[in-house]
């Protein structure tokens, strides 16, 4: 970490520099696991969590063409942006 003199540091950065030494060292980070679980084990645990907490079965699929819905949303948002721009004093 570079040594910043007290006069060289802008006041808005002084607190960040004081706290910079409190961050953990990268050398202390855990390494990658030596034996990562097999995909079948991971899938089994994911399915178990989904059974415990609910699955994706309750999500409704849009009935109409999703492209048309997205285009309508784009038009609505574009109109809001243009209204905001028109209200901007220049």
| 54 belongs to a structural domain | no
| 28 belongs to a structural domain | no
Residues with Cβ within 8 Å of 17's Cβ and at least 6 positions away in sequence, in order, are 4, 9
- Per the CB < 8 A criterion, the answer to whether 41 and 61 are in contact is no
Q: Evaluate if residue 56 carries a pLDDT over 90.
A: no
| 75 belongs to a structural domain | yes
| 57 belongs to a structural domain | no
| 46 belongs to a structural domain | no
How is residue 66 written in tokens? 């999703």
Can you give the pLDDT at residue 6? 58
DSSP string over 8-71: TS-HHHHHHHHHGGGSPPGGGS----SSPPPHHHHHHHHHHHHHHH--GGGPPPPSS-HHHHHH
Domain count, the chain: 1
- The string of pLDDT tens digits covering residues 10-39 is 778 878 877 877 888 888 888 888 888 898
| 38 belongs to a structural domain | no
- Residue-range definition of the domain harbouring residue 84: 63-90
| 20 belongs to a structural domain | no
**Alpha carbon distance 17, 11 (integer Å):** 10
| 68 belongs to a structural domain | yes
């Amino acid at each position: 970490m570079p040594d910043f003199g007290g006069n060289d540091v802008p006041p808005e950065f002084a607190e960040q520099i004081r706290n910079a030494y409190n961050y953990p060292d990268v050398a202390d980070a855990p390494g990658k696991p030596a034996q990562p679980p097999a995909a079948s084990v991971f899938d089994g645990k994911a399915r178990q969590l989904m059974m415990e907490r609910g699955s994706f079965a309750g999500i409704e699929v849009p009935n109409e063409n999703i492209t048309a819905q997205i285009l309508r949303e784009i038009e609505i948002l574009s109109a809001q942006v243009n209204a905001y721009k028109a209200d901007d004093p220049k």
